[in-house]
Amino acid sequence: MESLIDEEMLKQKVQKYIVSISCLILIGKFIAYYLTHSVGVLTDAMESIVNVAAGFLSLYSLHFSGRPKDERHPFGHGKIELISASVEGILISIAGGMIIYEGIKRLFSPVEVQHLDIGIYIVAFSGLLNYLMGWYSIRIGKRYDSIALVAGGKHLQSDTYSTIGLVAGLLVLYFTKIVWIDSLLALLFGGIIAGTGISILRKTIANLLDAADEQLLNDLVQTLNEKRPPEWIDIHNTRIIKSGSYLYIDCDLTIPWYYTIEEGHREADKLQNLLRDKYANKVQLTIHLDPCNIFDKQKCSNCALKQCKYRREAFQQQENISLASFTGAGGEV
C-alpha cells in the first residue's frame, strides 16, 4: 500500500512541475504576441492557455484518483482521470475553433507584423520545453499507467510538432513579408489543434464507456499462455474495467472437475498472484471456477494434465488461449 501511495505522490509531483513550467511558457508566448501582433504567434499562445487549464485539471484529477476506494466508490476514484482528459479534449477543440476564426478575420483585416525575430525565438524555445515536458509526462504516465499523464504528455508533444511547423511558417513570413501567410498559419494549425482535441475526446469517451482494450487483452493472453500450468484447462468469459491505474478483472477458470474446494482455491490464488506480479499489485480479480466437462472429448484431448485418472481421450495438443476464447463464454455452464 505504501508503494502505491508513493506512486500517486510522484504522479502529482510530475504534474505540478508541468503546470508551473506551462505557466511560464504562457507568459512568454503572450509577450511574443504583444511584440509581434502575429496571429500565428497568437495561435501558439492560445494553445498554451489550454495547456495550463488542462494541467490544473490533470493535477486535480491525479489528486482525486489517488483516494482509496470507499462505500460510495467501490471501484475507486480513477475514472476522474478520464473526465479530466475529456474536458482537456473539449478545451483543445474550442481553442482550435477560436484560432481558425481569428485566422479568417485577419485575412480580411490584416495587421502589420513587428519584431518577428524575437517572436520566433520565444516560440521555438517554448516548443522545446513543451517537448521535454511531454516526453517526461508520457514516460511517467506509462510507467504507472496514468491516463491523465499520458494524455497530457501527448498533448504537449503535439503542441511541439505544431510549433515546429509554425516556426517554419513564421520564418517564411519573416523573409517574404507576405502578410496573408500569417493568417494561413493560423488556419492550418488551428485545424491541427482542433483535430487533436477531437482525437483525445474519442479515446476518453471509449474508455468511459468501458470499451475493450485489445492491446491490454492481447498482452494478458500472451502472459497466460507463457505461464499457464496444466491445471488451468481453460480461461474464458473475461471482463476488464480500468479505473485510473487499477484493473478490475472478472473471469472464469476451468479446472479438473474432481478438484476439492481447497485445490480449486489454490489454483485461483495462483492466477491472482500471477496477475498481481505483472500489474504491480493494481489488480482486483474475481474468479468463477468451472469444472471441466468429462463428456467433452475434445476438451479432454486438449488437457495437458498428465496425472488425470479420469481421462477419456489421449492427450493430443494443448490449445493456446486466444483472444476470442479468452473473452468468449466458453463451453462451460
Could you give the domains of the chain? 2-208 (1.20.1510.10), 214-327 (3.30.70.1350)
The tens place of each residue's pLDDT in the chain, 333 residues long, gives 445 556 667 777 777 888 888 888 888 888 888 888 887 787 778 777 777 877 777 777 666 666 666 666 655 556 666 677 777 778 778 877 877 887 787 777 766 777 788 888 888 898 888 888 888 888 887 777 666 677 778 777 777 777 777 788 788 878 887 877 777 877 887 787 788 778 877 777 766 665 556 777 788 888 888 888 888 888 888 888 776 667 778 889 888 888 888 988 998 888 888 888 877 667 778 888 888 875 555 577 777 787 777 777 777 777 787 777 777 765 443
Q: What is d(CA 17, CA 33) in angstroms, rounded to the nearest whole number?
A: 25
Beta bridge partners of 275: none
Q: What is d(CA 250, CA 232) in angstroms, rounded to the nearest whole number?
A: 16
Q: What is d(CA 96, CA 115) in angstroms, rounded to the nearest whole number?
A: 25
How far apart, in Å, are the Cα atoms of 229 and each of 153, 234, 253, 276, 306?
40, 11, 12, 17, 12
Check residue 71 and report its DSSP letter.
S
The set of cell numbers assigned to 192 is 491541427
Q: What is d(CA 80, CA 57) in angstroms, rounded to the nearest whole number?
A: 10
**3-state DSSP assignment of residue 201:** helix
E strands, the chain, in order: 234-243, 246-255, 283-291
The residue among 242, 19, 21, 13 whose CA lies nearest residue 152 is 19
Q: What is d(CA 105, CA 252) in angstroms, rounded to the nearest whole number?
A: 61
